[in-house]
Structure 1
């Protein structure tokens, strides 16, 4: 029911979570379980100390919606009768975006830090115009980069201390707009970048070489540079060179691991060779002087050398044949042997600015020609979404601000030696932690499985630890998030009759009822054709939007959803984003080529053969 006592429409997964709760009230004692109503009320009452700090409710205490109270009551109310410790150690909560995930979960972190009676508890960007190097050898403004785009990246760390970082194909996993303290880095070659204080760059300081954040960089340090960004050359000479290299050019031994980065070409001495040499010189490309192919041949050969030089040539001139296999020239090849280092002239503060934060598969990419690390969406900044919200709630409350000390990246309670910190996504740095609670935000973009298990095993010595994953649906069905999602489905469908019982795991899924989850349902086409059975939810039906959006009318606005749905209907490329983010449905990719319903409507049994 909603806060007015009226029945709420819910999906089958939510109903199963409710049925599990009722079943445990009836039969839980047989398994040593009890529901402590006072413990459930304690966490709900704690929210009165936590206030909204932005938007229309700024300054008001957080008032949980019924669906949020149900979740918190489950997590903190169920206990083992013999020990009195909490039952649930792992929770999986998945709901569409804008449904108050951070507002709900940040106070849970504060409660676990301050009010849970656990000694020593531990609870754990670039300017939009910045040009990013894409896999197709074009540079695109960060503002126009989309989730799913392929980029060129490098290994975050060398395989061993004696080896180099290698170039890799990378893909954009996440993107968001943030407001951060910003700086402008000015370089000796006239280039500049605007970035956040915490943005990491591959840098050579006076003492060492590695990733350094903007606020750590000083004049005189040198950043790893891939060369100046380029644009496609549409000149007459560029077209001539593209055609020439498509006919006479070749990649030098691209499959050999230690092969030099070279693009060769061959031509007899004469006017054509002279024109090509002149055009290459005029455009600033580095190449060897033409030399005889062998003793018995009049043909001459020459090579463009250096990776950045070769990729600039391919990216600017764009010879079609060579572009089709350009990846063979650089994938898996060492970075440090092919790039220079440009000295920093100054680092100037710019104050607060709107920046864009992206996350990639390799955690790296090239920005304005410099080697850049993730802005850390799934790294520490993603964790800071919850941490910063919780920290602000402490600072604006007269009671919590006395009990909990706050710092930039740490909150702690001195009396119990407990702390609340955002953690990075580097699982190697999280070993050895003695974790009481882990709040895992947007797990669908976590690139590795290992971090989840490192956090999980770090709770082994705690009496009643809790690991909470709160997330929107994703696209990668090989991810740790989808594995946890699948476990939640097994728990929710298996508790009846004892088919699959995991008393330590809580799961709840807010989404549409789909045939992919419930095979007995009919698709829209099947239902229209057969006229019997129960049809799966239609995303265009506003009456079912409440299922993935339990905060519809509270923090989710119907008008906004109608606008987005209208766009999704007219633009098939945006439909999967709407299904994924607004309907909380797992999809295979963020963008789709054509709407499948439109495809079906244009089905024909006639076959047309086009003669060549």
Structure 2
């Protein structure tokens, strides 16, 4: 590159971001300002600043990506073309050197970027560069994750890129879990917390993908402790945002923000966090580029529009949109279905028309002092039809007034209107529930009844003796996620007909859903603002309905155990 004729892409990106030509939120603007401030300090030879920017070193790393080939999709076999924002990151990492030692300045990188922005491809390329082009003999580079299978995602992408590049195939030997450079004795391997051994690592490069999913810093600590014998090791953490704001990823993010703001001095730490600003309209396409610098390249605008439209309709989709597409950390607990959407799905239920129809049951047995719920879900006759829900509730007769004061609802009125049934005494008598279910079984064709085995085993055995097919439904996020999402989708699309049952309406309004890092969701009894037993029973029933009515369901493959 003729330095007099060419513009340094790293400087160009920084200047365009700060001028407003390229949309960016505060963290990226801070990273760009830091780069330009550092260039000024280096050029002025400020005595306290020990680094300089070497455009040739940056160019060496950037040009390496020209040897890489995409391995998937419409770009398969084509050369990897770095976008300007990617050149800023890679050029910064490899271009800044120490004035005296000539060694690399940055030893730790924290990059936070939404999905579909070329994350895996870029980090795989960096791993290959550290293995074969960094002039490090015996380099050990690891793609690290909590599980080896997860670590192999980055490693396998790197292996495919090697196989797709004639130039790299001359340098590498490709094995199942190893990329080896004969000339230098260097290697690139996947490493999981469940690997046979993590001892004796001599880490030149550690690539930690999706750090938000790590519950502890154990893997990061293993990588970091293995770098002590290297002169210029690099730990590269790359992730999307997440929900665990008490975990190691968010702690590292907070550290990164302090570095960018200048309140935490650390010249060896580089951070690039693509997100939107707090006051941005999340549904305004003009702001999406801030969080998605590859919008229009690897991430389609149509995809963002589709995700935004889903987010406008469903609370869980909204949270996923914030986290995965706009890179905003959010709380795991989310207020669920707005009452306006729930009420719009009420419809009209004609009980006489349901007689003899096929349905699926869901049982949520409470403690003997609380509400117990039983739900029936009637599937539609065709794929776009309506699901009909009937829910039955029981409460101990002597506890009605006490529960009114505690739950702040008029159980007395609901009992008078036959919306809640009482059982004699101060505790639920499960014999009454069993009798009602048997009565319902004579009216409707109940295919299966799903139940939480924690409290209901004895009642379930008795109902099994009565001839019902009883299916255990452990109340885990993974078990309930598909049915929870289907419940929400059907309700907001006005296809979950519930007849406006006021008890169920109150419980829906109480419901808060929890989610995990794998986007599994389910109602949270602990975090919800009141009773949600009817919602839990309905989700149990819907889960079994999905198994039999939708043959592509994940439940079809997993199948909870029948009694």
Instruction: Give how far 1:431 is off.
Output: 2.9
Structure 2 contact 145–208 (Cα < 8 Å) conserved: no
- Aligned counterpart in structure 2 of residue 551 of structure 1, from 294, 301, 308: 294
- Residue 172 of structure 2 corresponds to 404
Distance 1:538 1:598, change over 3 A: farther
- Residue 314 of structure 2 corresponds to 571
Deviations 1:101-157 (A, max 9, x none): 011111111110001011110011xxxxxxxxxxxxxxxxxxxxxxxxxxxxxxxxx
Q: How far apart are the structure 2 equivalents of 1:122 and 1:609?
A: 64
- Residue 183 of structure 1 corresponds to none
Structure 2, unmatched stretches of 5+, are: 1-11, 343-407, 413-563
- Aligned counterpart in structure 2 of residue 7 of structure 1, from 13, 21, 24: 21
Going by fraction, where is helix more abundant, 1 or 2?
2
- Residue 253 of structure 1 corresponds to none
Deviations 1:216-250 (A, max 9, x none): xxxxxxxxxxxxxxxxxxxxxxxxxxxxxxxxxxx
- Aligned counterpart in structure 1 of residue 280 of structure 2, from 519, 533, 537: 537
- Aligned counterpart in structure 2 of residue 436 of structure 1, from 186, 201, 204: 204
- Aligned counterpart in structure 2 of residue 19 of structure 1, from 28, 33, 47: 33
Instruction: Give how far 1:2 is off.
Output: 7.5
Q: How far apart are the structure 2 equivalents of 1:544 and 1:598?
A: 28
- Residue 127 of structure 1 corresponds to none
- Aligned counterpart in structure 1 of residue 238 of structure 2, from 470, 477, 489: 470
Q: How far apart are the structure 2 equivalents of 1:431 and 1:393?
A: 29
- Residue 78 of structure 2 corresponds to 60
- Residue 100 of structure 2 corresponds to 82
Q: How far apart are the structure 2 equivalents of 1:400 and 1:437?
A: 19
Distance 1:377 1:421, change over 3 A: closer
Instruction: Give how far 1:420 is off.
Output: 0.3
* Mapped pair 1:506 → 2:262: no
Q: How far apart are the structure 2 equivalents of 1:546 and 1:405?
A: 39
Structure 1 contact 47–62 (Cα < 8 Å) conserved: yes
Q: How far apart are the structure 2 equivalents of 1:448 and 1:21?
A: 31
Alignment of 1:449-460 (within 5 A): 449-460=217-228
Aligned length: 327
Instruction: Give how far 1:596 is off.
Output: 12
Q: How far apart are the structure 2 equivalents of 1:596 and 1:463?
A: 60
Instruction: Give how far 1:63 is off.
Output: 0.3
What SS does the corresponding residue of 2:89 show, helix, strand or coil?
Answer: helix
Distance 1:541 1:459, change over 3 A: same
* Mapped pair 1:386 → 2:154: yes
Deviations 1:266-287 (A, max 9, x none): xxxxxxxxxxxxxxxxxxxxxx
What SS does the corresponding residue of 2:87 show, helix, strand or coil?
Answer: helix
Going by fraction, where is strand more abundant, 1 or 2?
1
Structure 1 contact 576–592 (Cα < 8 Å) conserved: no
Instruction: Give how far 1:427 is off.
Output: 8.0
Structure 1, unmatched stretches of 5+, are: 125-375, 515-535, 600-607
Distance 1:381 1:489, change over 3 A: same
Alignment of 1:200-211 (within 5 A): none
Instruction: Give how far 1:500 is off.
Output: 2.5
Distance 1:541 1:461, change over 3 A: same
Deviations 1:367-403 (A, max 9, x none): xxxxxxxxx9841122111111111111121111011
What SS does the corresponding residue of 1:387 show, helix, strand or coil?
Answer: helix
Structure 1 contact 580–590 (Cα < 8 Å) conserved: no
* Mapped pair 1:114 → 2:128: no
Moved more, 424-433 or 537-546: 424-433
Deviations 1:165-201 (A, max 9, x none): xxxxxxxxxxxxxxxxxxxxxxxxxxxxxxxxxxxxx
Distance 1:57 1:597, change over 3 A: farther
Instruction: Give how far 1:590 is off.
Output: 6.9
* Mapped pair 1:588 → 2:331: yes
Q: How far apart are the structure 2 equivalents of 1:548 and 1:488?
A: 17
Deviations 1:553-601 (A, max 9, x none): 00111111111111111112221111110111111117542579999xx
Asked which structure has the greater RCO (Cα within 8 Å, sep 6+), the reply is 1
Deviations 1:440-496 (A, max 9, x none): 1111111221211111111001010000001000111121111111111100111xx
- Aligned counterpart in structure 2 of residue 415 of structure 1, from 176, 183, 192: 183
Alignment of 1:189-338 (within 5 A): none
Q: How far apart are the structure 1 equivalents of 2:153 and 2:205?
A: 16
- Residue 249 of structure 2 corresponds to 481
- Residue 153 of structure 1 corresponds to none
- Residue 395 of structure 1 corresponds to 163
Q: How far apart are the structure 2 equivalents of 1:570 and 1:453?
A: 41
Q: How far apart are the structure 2 equivalents of 1:105 and 1:433?
A: 20
What SS does the corresponding residue of 2:208 show, helix, strand or coil?
Answer: strand
- Residue 248 of structure 1 corresponds to none
Instruction: Give how far 1:429 is off.
Output: 2.8
What's the Cα RMSD here? Answer: 2.4
Structure 1 contact 574–591 (Cα < 8 Å) conserved: no
Structure 1 contact 95–509 (Cα < 8 Å) conserved: yes
- Residue 170 of structure 1 corresponds to none
* Mapped pair 1:562 → 2:305: yes
- Residue 490 of structure 1 corresponds to 258
Instruction: Give how far 1:96 is off.
Output: 0.5
Distance 1:611 1:109, change over 3 A: closer
When normalised by structure 2's length, the TM-score is 0.55
Instruction: Give how far 1:48 is off.
Output: 1.1
